[in-house]
């Protein structure tokens, strides 16, 4: 293992981990990837972050970042080829809305059997308010903050993807045609396919997997 590289503990399908991997890839940062199983979390990760959630980024100087949006900010703080830092202040509020009320609705929609108080459509419609907001933003430009992809697009996309895949045909029937086009762009992108490559679960002593 190179001690000069960050180490990222990740879970391939977790949207928080996806956004961290997307940002690291966009910033061109080389790191050691440690894919974990949520049902068998390695003690090395738990020693770094007692939250027990991914992603967790261990920096070469020993610092630990265990919030996905903070990892994104750290990544573009190291290298910002597309000038995303200037969008952070504006992105903060939209990411907070995504991670707060929208994520709450998403969890109840995706796991509706755990929340039998209401049918799944109620939780879907709670999330629809945020989707419609994004669709209105995309009426002005092809990406959320203008003509080019920025940090906010890749911060939000993994959660929109999770919502869409609860019922993909139903998602496409919603009154959000611009959001559907934006969704397809990100899902079909080379960048997304790259960060979604499959790797075996990491265990101490395994050959390291380097990603950049």
CA distances, 54 to each of 8, 57, 149, 194 (Å): 9, 9, 24, 19
Q: How confident is the model at residue 196 (pLDDT cuts 50, 70, 90)?
A: very high
Q: What is the pLDDT of residue 206?
A: 86
In the chain the domains, ranked by start, together with CATH numbers, are 7-82+195-211 (3.40.30.10), 85-192 (1.20.1050.10)
Q: How confident is the model at residue 3 (pLDDT cuts 50, 70, 90)?
A: low
Share of the chain above pLDDT 90, in %: 95
Round the average pLDDT of the chain to a whole number and report it: 96
Q: What is the pLDDT of residue 48?
A: 97
Residue 121 CB coordination number (10 Å): 13
Average pLDDT over every residue of 64-76: 98
pLDDT tens digits, 101-137: 999 999 999 999 999 999 999 999 999 999 999 999 9
């Amino acid at each position: 293992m190179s001690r000069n590289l960050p180490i990222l503990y990740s879970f391939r399908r977790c949207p928080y981990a996806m956004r961290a991997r997307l940002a690291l890839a966009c910033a061109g940062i080389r790191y050691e990837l440690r894919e974990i199983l949520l049902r068998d979390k390695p003690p090395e990760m738990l020693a770094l972050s007692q939250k027990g959630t991914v992603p967790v980024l261990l920096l070469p100087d020993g610092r630990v970042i265990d919030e996905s949006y903070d990892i994104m900010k750290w990544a573009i703080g190291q290298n910002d080829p597309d000038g995303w830092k200037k969008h952070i202040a504006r992105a903060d509020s939209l990411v907070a809305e995504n991670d707060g009320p929208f994520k709450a609705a998403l969890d109840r929609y995706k796991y509706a059997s755990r929340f039998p108080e209401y049918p799944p459509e109620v939780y879907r419609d709670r999330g629809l308010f945020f989707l419609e907001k994004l669709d209105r933003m995309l009426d002005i430009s092809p990406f959320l903050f203008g003509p080019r992809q920025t940090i906010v697009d890749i911060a939000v996309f993994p959660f929109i993807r999770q919502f869409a895949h609860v019922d993909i045909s139903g998602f496409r029937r919603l009154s959000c045609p611009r959001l559907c086009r934006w969704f397809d762009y990100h899902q079909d992108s080379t960048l997304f396919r790259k960060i979604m490559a499959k790797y075996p679960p990491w265990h101490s002593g395994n050959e390291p997997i380097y990603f950049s």
